[in-house]
Structure 1
Amino acid sequence: MNIPSLPVHDDAALLDLAVRLATEAAGLIRDIRARGFVTHVKSDESPVTEADHAAETHILAGLRAAVPSIPVIAEEEAAAGIAVEAGRTYWLVDPLDGTREFAAGRDDFTVNIGLVRDGAAVLGAVALPAYHQVYAGRVGHGAWRRDSHGQHPIHVRRPAPAGLDVLASRHYADDPRLKDLLAQQPVASIRNIGSAAKFIRVAEGQADLYPRLGPTMEWDTAAPQAVLEAAGGSITEFDGTPLTYGKAQWRNPPFICRGAR
Protein backbone atom coordinates (compact mmCIF):
# COMPACT_ATOMS: atom_id res chain seq x y z
CA MET A 1 0.00 0.00 0.00
CA ASN A 2 1.60 3.27 -1.11
CA ILE A 3 0.11 6.09 0.96
CA PRO A 4 2.20 9.23 1.53
CA SER A 5 2.65 10.50 5.08
CA LEU A 6 0.07 13.13 6.07
CA PRO A 7 0.29 16.11 8.46
CA VAL A 8 -1.35 15.11 11.75
CA HIS A 9 -3.35 18.37 12.00
CA ASP A 10 -4.67 18.48 8.42
CA ASP A 11 -8.17 17.28 9.21
CA ALA A 12 -9.39 17.55 5.63
CA ALA A 13 -6.60 15.22 4.48
CA LEU A 14 -7.18 12.88 7.42
CA LEU A 15 -10.86 12.64 6.54
CA ASP A 16 -10.01 11.91 2.91
CA LEU A 17 -7.75 9.10 4.14
CA ALA A 18 -10.50 7.67 6.37
CA VAL A 19 -13.00 7.81 3.50
CA ARG A 20 -10.61 6.06 1.15
CA LEU A 21 -9.83 3.27 3.59
CA ALA A 22 -13.47 2.79 4.61
CA THR A 23 -14.43 2.54 0.93
CA GLU A 24 -11.70 0.00 0.23
CA ALA A 25 -12.61 -2.03 3.32
CA ALA A 26 -16.25 -2.04 2.20
CA GLY A 27 -15.16 -3.58 -1.10
CA LEU A 28 -13.23 -6.31 0.72
CA ILE A 29 -16.28 -7.08 2.85
CA ARG A 30 -18.55 -7.34 -0.19
CA ASP A 31 -16.09 -9.72 -1.88
CA ILE A 32 -15.94 -11.98 1.18
CA ARG A 33 -19.71 -11.94 1.52
CA ALA A 34 -20.10 -12.96 -2.13
CA ARG A 35 -17.82 -16.00 -1.86
CA GLY A 36 -18.93 -17.13 1.60
CA PHE A 37 -17.39 -17.11 5.07
CA VAL A 38 -17.42 -18.83 8.45
CA THR A 39 -18.62 -17.09 11.63
CA HIS A 40 -16.67 -17.65 14.86
CA VAL A 41 -17.51 -16.64 18.43
CA LYS A 42 -15.09 -14.51 20.48
CA SER A 43 -14.50 -14.86 24.21
CA ASP A 44 -17.13 -12.20 24.90
CA GLU A 45 -19.71 -14.26 22.97
CA SER A 46 -19.82 -11.77 20.07
CA PRO A 47 -19.40 -13.03 16.48
CA VAL A 48 -16.41 -12.40 14.23
CA THR A 49 -15.73 -13.34 10.61
CA GLU A 50 -12.95 -13.29 8.04
CA ALA A 51 -14.43 -10.00 6.82
CA ASP A 52 -13.85 -8.32 10.21
CA HIS A 53 -10.19 -9.32 10.19
CA ALA A 54 -9.53 -8.52 6.52
CA ALA A 55 -11.13 -5.07 6.80
CA GLU A 56 -9.25 -4.25 10.01
CA THR A 57 -5.90 -5.38 8.62
CA HIS A 58 -6.37 -3.16 5.57
CA ILE A 59 -7.47 -0.11 7.56
CA LEU A 60 -4.71 -0.39 10.16
CA ALA A 61 -2.02 -0.72 7.50
CA GLY A 62 -3.31 2.38 5.72
CA LEU A 63 -3.65 4.54 8.82
CA ARG A 64 -0.30 3.56 10.27
CA ALA A 65 1.49 4.09 6.98
CA ALA A 66 -0.03 7.53 6.37
CA VAL A 67 0.05 8.95 9.91
CA PRO A 68 2.33 6.75 12.03
CA SER A 69 2.31 9.25 14.90
CA ILE A 70 -1.45 8.90 15.48
CA PRO A 71 -2.26 5.77 17.53
CA VAL A 72 -5.03 3.43 16.34
CA ILE A 73 -7.37 1.54 18.65
CA ALA A 74 -9.27 -1.12 16.72
CA GLU A 75 -11.87 -3.65 17.81
CA GLU A 76 -10.22 -6.90 16.79
CA GLU A 77 -6.76 -5.90 18.04
CA ALA A 78 -8.34 -4.93 21.36
CA ALA A 79 -10.16 -8.28 21.48
CA ALA A 80 -6.80 -10.00 20.95
CA GLY A 81 -5.37 -8.18 23.98
CA ILE A 82 -3.25 -5.68 22.05
CA ALA A 83 -3.13 -2.50 24.14
CA VAL A 84 -2.39 0.86 22.52
CA GLU A 85 -1.57 4.07 24.39
CA ALA A 86 -4.00 6.63 23.00
CA GLY A 87 -2.67 10.11 23.79
CA ARG A 88 -4.59 13.28 22.94
CA THR A 89 -5.33 12.29 19.35
CA TYR A 90 -6.12 8.79 18.15
CA TRP A 91 -8.14 6.77 15.66
CA LEU A 92 -10.98 4.47 16.68
CA VAL A 93 -11.77 1.70 14.18
CA ASP A 94 -14.59 -0.79 13.98
CA PRO A 95 -13.87 -2.68 10.75
CA LEU A 96 -17.31 -4.31 10.61
CA ASP A 97 -19.90 -2.90 12.97
CA GLY A 98 -22.96 -5.13 12.99
CA THR A 99 -21.30 -8.50 12.45
CA ARG A 100 -24.52 -10.19 13.58
CA GLU A 101 -26.37 -8.40 10.76
CA PHE A 102 -23.66 -9.35 8.27
CA ALA A 103 -23.59 -12.99 9.35
CA ALA A 104 -27.39 -13.21 9.20
CA GLY A 105 -27.46 -11.97 5.61
CA ARG A 106 -28.98 -8.58 6.45
CA ASP A 107 -27.66 -5.29 5.07
CA ASP A 108 -27.30 -2.89 8.01
CA PHE A 109 -23.61 -3.24 8.83
CA THR A 110 -20.91 -0.59 8.58
CA VAL A 111 -17.21 0.22 8.50
CA ASN A 112 -16.34 2.93 11.05
CA ILE A 113 -13.16 5.04 11.11
CA GLY A 114 -13.24 7.97 13.53
CA LEU A 115 -10.67 10.43 14.86
CA VAL A 116 -10.76 11.59 18.47
CA ARG A 117 -8.98 14.70 19.72
CA ASP A 118 -9.03 15.87 23.34
CA GLY A 119 -11.90 13.52 24.16
CA ALA A 120 -14.18 14.52 21.28
CA ALA A 121 -14.98 12.78 18.00
CA VAL A 122 -13.87 15.37 15.41
CA LEU A 123 -14.20 13.54 12.10
CA GLY A 124 -15.36 10.22 10.79
CA ALA A 125 -16.06 8.03 7.79
CA VAL A 126 -18.78 5.38 7.81
CA ALA A 127 -19.25 3.00 4.89
CA LEU A 128 -22.40 0.91 4.40
CA PRO A 129 -21.02 -1.84 2.13
CA ALA A 130 -24.34 -3.47 1.21
CA TYR A 131 -25.77 -0.12 0.06
CA HIS A 132 -22.58 1.07 -1.69
CA GLN A 133 -22.76 4.24 0.42
CA VAL A 134 -20.06 6.17 2.27
CA TYR A 135 -20.79 8.95 4.75
CA ALA A 136 -18.27 11.41 6.12
CA GLY A 137 -18.20 14.45 8.35
CA ARG A 138 -15.97 16.94 10.15
CA VAL A 139 -17.61 18.55 13.14
CA GLY A 140 -18.15 22.20 12.32
CA HIS A 141 -17.57 21.65 8.60
CA GLY A 142 -20.58 19.63 7.45
CA ALA A 143 -21.31 16.06 6.42
CA TRP A 144 -21.96 14.30 3.12
CA ARG A 145 -22.97 11.04 1.47
CA ARG A 146 -21.27 9.48 -1.54
CA ASP A 147 -23.08 6.84 -3.60
CA SER A 148 -23.78 5.92 -7.23
CA HIS A 149 -25.45 9.31 -7.74
CA GLY A 150 -22.41 11.30 -6.64
CA GLN A 151 -21.64 13.25 -3.49
CA HIS A 152 -24.29 15.25 -1.64
CA PRO A 153 -24.45 17.14 1.68
CA ILE A 154 -26.60 15.64 4.42
CA HIS A 155 -28.45 17.30 7.30
CA VAL A 156 -30.60 16.22 10.20
CA ARG A 157 -34.28 17.17 10.13
CA ARG A 158 -36.80 18.56 12.59
CA PRO A 159 -39.42 16.04 13.78
CA ALA A 160 -42.80 16.13 12.03
CA PRO A 161 -45.90 17.18 14.01
CA ALA A 162 -47.14 13.57 13.86
CA GLY A 163 -44.26 12.49 16.08
CA LEU A 164 -40.78 11.05 16.11
CA ASP A 165 -39.50 8.37 13.80
CA VAL A 166 -37.39 6.30 16.17
CA LEU A 167 -34.63 3.81 15.40
CA ALA A 168 -33.73 1.17 17.95
CA SER A 169 -31.30 -1.70 18.19
CA ARG A 170 -32.67 -5.00 16.95
CA HIS A 171 -30.95 -6.65 19.91
CA TYR A 172 -33.01 -4.56 22.38
CA ALA A 173 -36.27 -4.45 20.44
CA ASP A 174 -38.36 -5.72 23.37
CA ASP A 175 -36.58 -3.85 26.16
CA PRO A 176 -39.27 -2.25 28.40
CA ARG A 177 -36.94 0.69 29.07
CA LEU A 178 -37.48 1.82 25.48
CA LYS A 179 -41.24 2.05 26.01
CA ASP A 180 -40.72 4.01 29.22
CA LEU A 181 -38.28 6.40 27.53
CA LEU A 182 -40.67 7.18 24.69
CA ALA A 183 -43.85 7.36 26.76
CA GLN A 184 -43.72 11.14 27.30
CA GLN A 185 -43.36 12.20 23.65
CA PRO A 186 -45.29 11.61 20.44
CA VAL A 187 -43.90 8.73 18.39
CA ALA A 188 -44.92 8.11 14.77
CA SER A 189 -42.87 4.94 14.21
CA ILE A 190 -40.25 2.65 15.71
CA ARG A 191 -37.95 0.64 13.46
CA ASN A 192 -35.32 -1.86 14.60
CA ILE A 193 -32.08 -2.10 12.65
CA GLY A 194 -28.49 -2.98 13.48
CA SER A 195 -25.12 -1.25 13.62
CA ALA A 196 -24.06 2.38 13.26
CA ALA A 197 -26.50 2.66 10.36
CA LYS A 198 -28.93 4.06 12.96
CA PHE A 199 -26.72 7.11 13.54
CA ILE A 200 -26.40 7.62 9.82
CA ARG A 201 -30.12 7.49 9.08
CA VAL A 202 -30.67 10.17 11.73
CA ALA A 203 -27.79 12.21 10.28
CA GLU A 204 -29.31 12.24 6.80
CA GLY A 205 -32.81 13.09 8.00
CA GLN A 206 -34.51 9.71 7.61
CA ALA A 207 -35.22 9.41 11.35
CA ASP A 208 -35.30 11.62 14.44
CA LEU A 209 -34.11 9.65 17.46
CA TYR A 210 -31.93 6.68 18.34
CA PRO A 211 -31.79 5.79 22.05
CA ARG A 212 -29.08 3.28 22.95
CA LEU A 213 -29.88 1.33 26.10
CA GLY A 214 -27.31 -1.45 25.92
CA PRO A 215 -23.50 -1.42 26.04
CA THR A 216 -21.34 -0.13 23.19
CA MET A 217 -17.66 0.52 22.75
CA GLU A 218 -15.99 3.74 21.68
CA TRP A 219 -15.00 2.31 18.29
CA ASP A 220 -18.70 1.68 17.64
CA THR A 221 -19.61 5.34 18.02
CA ALA A 222 -16.72 7.72 17.24
CA ALA A 223 -17.06 7.81 13.45
CA PRO A 224 -20.87 7.94 13.30
CA GLN A 225 -20.98 10.50 16.10
CA ALA A 226 -18.71 12.79 14.08
CA VAL A 227 -20.91 12.36 11.02
CA LEU A 228 -24.10 13.01 13.00
CA GLU A 229 -22.75 16.10 14.76
CA ALA A 230 -21.32 17.43 11.49
CA ALA A 231 -24.83 17.06 10.04
CA GLY A 232 -26.35 19.10 12.90
CA GLY A 233 -27.35 16.36 15.34
CA SER A 234 -26.23 15.51 18.85
CA ILE A 235 -25.34 12.55 21.06
CA THR A 236 -25.60 12.79 24.82
CA GLU A 237 -25.79 10.55 27.82
CA PHE A 238 -29.25 10.26 29.36
CA ASP A 239 -28.52 13.15 31.72
CA GLY A 240 -27.65 15.46 28.82
CA THR A 241 -23.87 15.19 29.16
CA PRO A 242 -22.11 15.05 25.77
CA LEU A 243 -20.74 11.63 24.87
CA THR A 244 -16.96 11.89 25.14
CA TYR A 245 -13.99 9.57 24.60
CA GLY A 246 -11.10 8.09 26.53
CA LYS A 247 -13.25 6.23 29.07
CA ALA A 248 -12.15 3.19 31.05
CA GLN A 249 -11.85 0.09 28.84
CA TRP A 250 -13.31 2.12 25.93
CA ARG A 251 -16.87 1.47 27.20
CA ASN A 252 -19.76 3.87 26.53
CA PRO A 253 -22.68 4.52 28.86
CA PRO A 254 -26.25 4.51 27.47
CA PHE A 255 -26.86 7.50 25.19
CA ILE A 256 -29.41 9.25 23.00
CA CYS A 257 -28.74 10.22 19.39
CA ARG A 258 -30.94 13.08 18.14
CA GLY A 259 -31.53 15.02 14.98
CA ALA A 260 -32.66 18.65 15.07
CA ARG A 261 -34.78 19.82 18.00
Structure 2
Amino acid sequence: MHYSSMLPEVIKLADEAGTRVLHIYQSDFKVSYKEDESPITAADVASHETIVKGLRNISRDIPILSEEGAQSPWEERKHWRRFWLVDPIDGTKEFTQRTGEFTVNIALIEDGEPVMGVVTAPALKEAFWGIKGEGAHKRDRTGRIHRIYVAEPPSTKRVVASKNHMNDETRNFIRALGPHKTIQAGSSLKFCRIAEGHADLYPRLGPTSEWDTAAAHAVLVAAGGDVRKLDGEPLQYGKEDVLNPHFIAAGNWYF
Protein backbone atom coordinates (compact mmCIF):
# COMPACT_ATOMS: atom_id res chain seq x y z
CA MET A 1 0.00 0.00 0.00
CA HIS A 2 1.29 3.49 -0.93
CA TYR A 3 0.70 5.42 2.25
CA SER A 4 2.12 8.64 0.81
CA SER A 5 -0.66 8.78 -1.78
CA MET A 6 -3.29 8.75 0.98
CA LEU A 7 -1.52 11.11 3.36
CA PRO A 8 -2.67 14.45 1.84
CA GLU A 9 -6.29 13.32 2.04
CA VAL A 10 -5.88 12.23 5.65
CA ILE A 11 -4.28 15.57 6.59
CA LYS A 12 -7.14 17.42 4.88
CA LEU A 13 -9.63 15.26 6.76
CA ALA A 14 -7.97 15.95 10.11
CA ASP A 15 -8.06 19.67 9.31
CA GLU A 16 -11.78 19.46 8.48
CA ALA A 17 -12.44 17.72 11.78
CA GLY A 18 -10.33 20.34 13.55
CA THR A 19 -12.41 23.14 12.04
CA ARG A 20 -15.59 21.60 13.43
CA VAL A 21 -13.91 21.09 16.79
CA LEU A 22 -12.74 24.72 16.97
CA HIS A 23 -16.23 26.00 16.19
CA ILE A 24 -17.53 24.17 19.25
CA TYR A 25 -14.46 25.02 21.35
CA GLN A 26 -15.18 28.70 20.82
CA SER A 27 -18.81 28.30 21.89
CA ASP A 28 -20.52 27.73 25.24
CA PHE A 29 -20.33 23.93 25.02
CA LYS A 30 -21.59 21.42 27.57
CA VAL A 31 -19.58 18.55 29.06
CA SER A 32 -21.12 15.10 29.56
CA TYR A 33 -19.53 12.00 31.03
CA LYS A 34 -19.28 8.46 29.69
CA GLU A 35 -19.69 5.29 31.74
CA ASP A 36 -15.98 5.32 32.63
CA GLU A 37 -16.44 8.92 33.89
CA SER A 38 -14.26 10.37 31.12
CA PRO A 39 -15.55 13.65 29.67
CA ILE A 40 -17.14 13.98 26.24
CA THR A 41 -18.44 16.99 24.35
CA ALA A 42 -20.24 17.69 21.08
CA ALA A 43 -16.78 18.32 19.61
CA ASP A 44 -15.73 14.68 20.18
CA VAL A 45 -18.85 13.51 18.35
CA ALA A 46 -18.52 16.01 15.50
CA SER A 47 -14.87 15.11 14.94
CA HIS A 48 -15.68 11.39 15.01
CA GLU A 49 -18.45 11.76 12.44
CA THR A 50 -16.28 13.84 10.12
CA ILE A 51 -13.31 11.48 10.28
CA VAL A 52 -15.25 8.23 9.91
CA LYS A 53 -17.18 9.53 6.90
CA GLY A 54 -13.98 10.82 5.31
CA LEU A 55 -11.97 7.64 5.91
CA ARG A 56 -14.71 5.55 4.34
CA ASN A 57 -14.44 7.71 1.23
CA ILE A 58 -10.65 7.36 1.20
CA SER A 59 -10.57 3.58 1.73
CA ARG A 60 -13.83 1.65 1.91
CA ASP A 61 -12.07 -1.66 2.51
CA ILE A 62 -10.10 -0.61 5.63
CA PRO A 63 -12.04 -0.94 8.92
CA ILE A 64 -12.11 1.89 11.47
CA LEU A 65 -11.75 1.78 15.23
CA SER A 66 -12.59 5.10 16.91
CA GLU A 67 -12.83 5.96 20.58
CA GLU A 68 -16.26 7.47 20.03
CA GLY A 69 -17.61 4.75 17.74
CA ALA A 70 -19.39 1.48 18.45
CA GLN A 71 -16.64 -1.03 19.20
CA SER A 72 -16.41 -4.00 16.86
CA PRO A 73 -16.24 -7.31 18.74
CA TRP A 74 -12.85 -8.97 19.18
CA GLU A 75 -13.99 -11.92 17.06
CA GLU A 76 -14.13 -9.47 14.17
CA ARG A 77 -11.19 -7.23 15.07
CA LYS A 78 -8.73 -10.10 15.52
CA HIS A 79 -8.82 -10.64 11.75
CA TRP A 80 -7.94 -7.03 10.94
CA ARG A 81 -4.45 -6.94 9.45
CA ARG A 82 -4.83 -3.25 8.61
CA PHE A 83 -7.17 -0.69 10.19
CA TRP A 84 -7.63 2.98 10.95
CA LEU A 85 -7.29 3.91 14.63
CA VAL A 86 -8.87 7.25 15.55
CA ASP A 87 -9.07 9.50 18.57
CA PRO A 88 -11.41 12.33 17.50
CA ILE A 89 -10.12 14.47 20.39
CA ASP A 90 -7.24 13.40 22.59
CA GLY A 91 -7.03 15.57 25.66
CA THR A 92 -10.72 16.25 26.27
CA LYS A 93 -9.70 17.61 29.68
CA GLU A 94 -7.42 20.10 27.93
CA PHE A 95 -10.37 20.92 25.68
CA THR A 96 -12.75 21.52 28.58
CA GLN A 97 -10.10 23.50 30.49
CA ARG A 98 -9.47 25.55 27.32
CA THR A 99 -5.69 25.13 27.41
CA GLY A 100 -5.59 24.55 23.65
CA GLU A 101 -3.45 21.43 24.05
CA PHE A 102 -5.89 18.91 22.59
CA THR A 103 -5.40 17.02 19.35
CA VAL A 104 -7.19 15.24 16.52
CA ASN A 105 -5.53 11.87 15.80
CA ILE A 106 -5.72 9.51 12.84
CA ALA A 107 -3.42 6.49 12.52
CA LEU A 108 -3.13 3.61 10.09
CA ILE A 109 -2.18 0.35 11.77
CA GLU A 110 -0.65 -2.56 9.87
CA ASP A 111 0.33 -5.86 11.50
CA GLY A 112 0.23 -4.24 14.93
CA GLU A 113 2.40 -1.24 13.99
CA PRO A 114 1.37 2.39 13.42
CA VAL A 115 2.71 2.98 9.90
CA MET A 116 1.14 6.39 9.23
CA GLY A 117 -0.11 9.06 11.60
CA VAL A 118 -1.60 12.54 11.49
CA VAL A 119 -1.93 14.70 14.60
CA THR A 120 -3.42 18.19 14.50
CA ALA A 121 -3.71 20.70 17.32
CA PRO A 122 -6.47 22.98 16.01
CA ALA A 123 -6.31 25.62 18.76
CA LEU A 124 -2.51 25.87 18.47
CA LYS A 125 -2.66 25.85 14.65
CA GLU A 126 -0.07 23.07 14.50
CA ALA A 127 -0.07 19.76 12.65
CA PHE A 128 2.28 16.78 12.58
CA TRP A 129 2.39 13.78 10.30
CA GLY A 130 4.69 10.91 9.52
CA ILE A 131 5.05 7.68 7.57
CA LYS A 132 7.27 4.87 8.79
CA GLY A 133 10.52 4.92 6.81
CA GLU A 134 9.60 8.14 4.97
CA GLY A 135 10.07 10.83 7.61
CA ALA A 136 7.94 13.21 9.67
CA HIS A 137 6.84 16.79 9.13
CA LYS A 138 5.33 19.68 11.07
CA ARG A 139 3.12 22.48 9.81
CA ASP A 140 3.54 25.43 12.16
CA ARG A 141 1.06 28.18 12.97
CA THR A 142 2.30 30.25 10.00
CA GLY A 143 1.50 27.39 7.62
CA ARG A 144 5.16 26.58 6.98
CA ILE A 145 5.90 22.86 6.59
CA HIS A 146 9.28 21.43 7.52
CA ARG A 147 10.90 18.08 8.24
CA ILE A 148 11.29 17.18 11.90
CA TYR A 149 13.73 14.90 13.72
CA VAL A 150 14.27 13.75 17.29
CA ALA A 151 17.14 15.42 19.14
CA GLU A 152 20.61 13.97 19.61
CA PRO A 153 21.34 12.28 22.98
CA PRO A 154 21.14 15.09 25.57
CA SER A 155 23.47 15.82 28.48
CA THR A 156 20.42 16.80 30.55
CA LYS A 157 17.24 14.97 29.62
CA ARG A 158 14.13 17.02 28.87
CA VAL A 159 11.31 14.89 30.20
CA VAL A 160 7.80 15.64 28.98
CA ALA A 161 5.01 14.78 31.40
CA SER A 162 1.24 14.95 31.53
CA LYS A 163 -0.45 17.97 33.05
CA ASN A 164 -3.48 15.99 34.17
CA HIS A 165 -2.21 12.44 34.71
CA MET A 166 0.97 12.63 36.77
CA ASN A 167 1.25 9.93 39.46
CA ASP A 168 3.79 8.83 42.07
CA GLU A 169 5.15 6.02 39.89
CA THR A 170 5.93 8.47 37.12
CA ARG A 171 7.47 10.98 39.53
CA ASN A 172 9.75 8.27 40.94
CA PHE A 173 10.78 7.18 37.44
CA ILE A 174 11.65 10.74 36.45
CA ARG A 175 13.53 11.36 39.70
CA ALA A 176 15.66 8.25 39.07
CA LEU A 177 16.83 9.68 35.74
CA GLY A 178 19.09 12.09 37.58
CA PRO A 179 19.56 15.66 36.30
CA HIS A 180 16.66 16.57 34.05
CA LYS A 181 14.29 19.30 32.98
CA THR A 182 10.54 18.68 33.12
CA ILE A 183 8.34 19.96 30.30
CA GLN A 184 4.58 19.76 30.64
CA ALA A 185 2.30 19.12 27.69
CA GLY A 186 -1.18 17.78 27.12
CA SER A 187 -2.60 15.02 24.92
CA SER A 188 -0.56 13.33 22.18
CA LEU A 189 1.49 16.53 21.82
CA LYS A 190 3.94 14.92 24.26
CA PHE A 191 5.06 12.52 21.53
CA CYS A 192 5.18 15.33 18.99
CA ARG A 193 7.42 17.49 21.16
CA ILE A 194 9.92 14.63 21.17
CA ALA A 195 9.48 14.12 17.42
CA GLU A 196 10.35 17.75 16.71
CA GLY A 197 13.36 17.70 19.04
CA HIS A 198 11.90 19.91 21.79
CA ALA A 199 11.83 17.11 24.39
CA ASP A 200 13.68 13.83 24.84
CA LEU A 201 11.66 11.38 26.87
CA TYR A 202 8.05 10.63 27.82
CA PRO A 203 7.45 7.90 30.41
CA ARG A 204 3.79 6.90 30.69
CA LEU A 205 3.25 4.80 33.79
CA GLY A 206 -0.50 5.21 33.88
CA PRO A 207 -3.51 4.15 31.81
CA THR A 208 -3.90 5.01 28.13
CA SER A 209 -5.78 3.39 25.27
CA GLU A 210 -4.53 2.47 21.83
CA TRP A 211 -6.30 5.39 20.14
CA ASP A 212 -4.61 7.84 22.53
CA THR A 213 -1.13 7.02 21.27
CA ALA A 214 -1.18 5.48 17.78
CA ALA A 215 -1.07 8.55 15.51
CA ALA A 216 1.61 10.37 17.50
CA HIS A 217 3.52 7.07 17.87
CA ALA A 218 3.68 6.91 14.07
CA VAL A 219 4.93 10.51 13.88
CA LEU A 220 7.63 9.83 16.48
CA VAL A 221 8.86 6.68 14.72
CA ALA A 222 9.00 8.55 11.41
CA ALA A 223 11.06 11.28 13.12
CA GLY A 224 13.62 8.76 14.43
CA GLY A 225 12.17 7.79 17.78
CA ASP A 226 10.33 4.82 19.22
CA VAL A 227 7.76 3.78 21.80
CA ARG A 228 8.41 0.66 23.86
CA LYS A 229 6.99 -1.14 26.84
CA LEU A 230 9.01 -1.19 30.05
CA ASP A 231 10.43 -4.61 29.08
CA GLY A 232 11.88 -3.10 25.90
CA GLU A 233 9.40 -4.70 23.52
CA PRO A 234 7.59 -2.50 20.97
CA LEU A 235 4.19 -1.06 21.88
CA GLN A 236 1.70 -2.97 19.73
CA TYR A 237 -1.81 -2.23 18.48
CA GLY A 238 -4.85 -4.30 17.61
CA LYS A 239 -4.99 -6.23 20.88
CA GLU A 240 -8.15 -7.69 22.38
CA ASP A 241 -7.76 -5.25 25.29
CA VAL A 242 -7.41 -1.74 23.86
CA LEU A 243 -5.64 -0.51 27.02
CA ASN A 244 -1.92 0.10 26.59
CA PRO A 245 0.67 -1.25 29.02
CA HIS A 246 3.06 1.28 30.57
CA PHE A 247 5.54 2.59 28.01
CA ILE A 248 8.38 4.98 27.28
CA ALA A 249 8.52 7.24 24.22
CA ALA A 250 11.92 8.66 23.28
CA GLY A 251 14.54 9.04 20.60
CA ASN A 252 16.13 5.75 19.55
CA TRP A 253 19.26 6.68 21.52
CA TYR A 254 17.37 5.84 24.74
CA PHE A 255 16.68 2.25 23.79
TM-score (norm 2): 0.93
| 1:202 correspondence with 2:194 | yes
Q: 2:151 matched to which residue of 1?
A: 157
SS, match of residue 236 in structure 2: coil
Q: Which runs of 5+ in 1 are unaligned?
A: 1-8
Go from structure 1 to structure 2 and tell me whether the alpha carbon gap of 1:119 and 1:46 turns closer, same or farther (over 3 Å shift). Answer: same
- Per-residue deviation, 1:155: 0.5
SS, match of residue 247 in structure 1: coil
Instruction: Please give the residue correspondences for 1:32-71 in structure 2 after superposition, counting only pairs within 5 Å.
Output: 32-71=24-63
Does the 8 A contact of 2:205 with 2:247 survive in 1? Answer: yes
In 2, Cα distance between equivalents of 1:122 and 1:192: 27
- Per-residue deviation, 1:251: 1.4
The letter for the 2-side match of 1:118 is: D
In 2, Cα distance between equivalents of 1:22 and 1:155: 22
Q: 1:250 matched to which residue of 2?
A: 242
Tell me the alpha carbon deviations over residues 105-130 of structure 1, each in whole angstroms, 9 at most, x when there is no partner: 11111000000001111000000111
SS, match of residue 137 in structure 1: strand
Q: 1:235 matched to which residue of 2?
A: 227
- Per-residue deviation, 1:253: 0.4
Q: 1:135 matched to which residue of 2?
A: 128
The letter for the 1-side match of 2:218 is: A
- Per-residue deviation, 1:82: 5.3
Instruction: Please give the residue correspondences for 1:28-177 in structure 2 after superposition, counting only pairs within 5 Å.
Output: 28-78=20-70, 81=71, 83=73, 85-86=76-77, 87-147=80-140, 148-161=142-155, 163-173=156-166, 175-177=167-169
The letter for the 1-side match of 2:7 is: L
Structure 1 runs of 4+ off > 6 angstroms? none
In 1, Cα distance between equivalents of 2:179 and 2:83: 38
Does the 8 A contact of 1:158 with 1:260 survive in 2? Answer: no
Q: Which runs of 5+ in 2 are unaligned?
A: none
Alignment RMSD: 1.5
Q: 1:12 matched to which residue of 2?
A: 4
In 2, Cα distance between equivalents of 1:82 and 1:117: 17
- Per-residue deviation, 1:228: 0.2
The letter for the 1-side match of 2:46 is: A
Across the two proteins, how many residue pairs are aligned to each other?
249
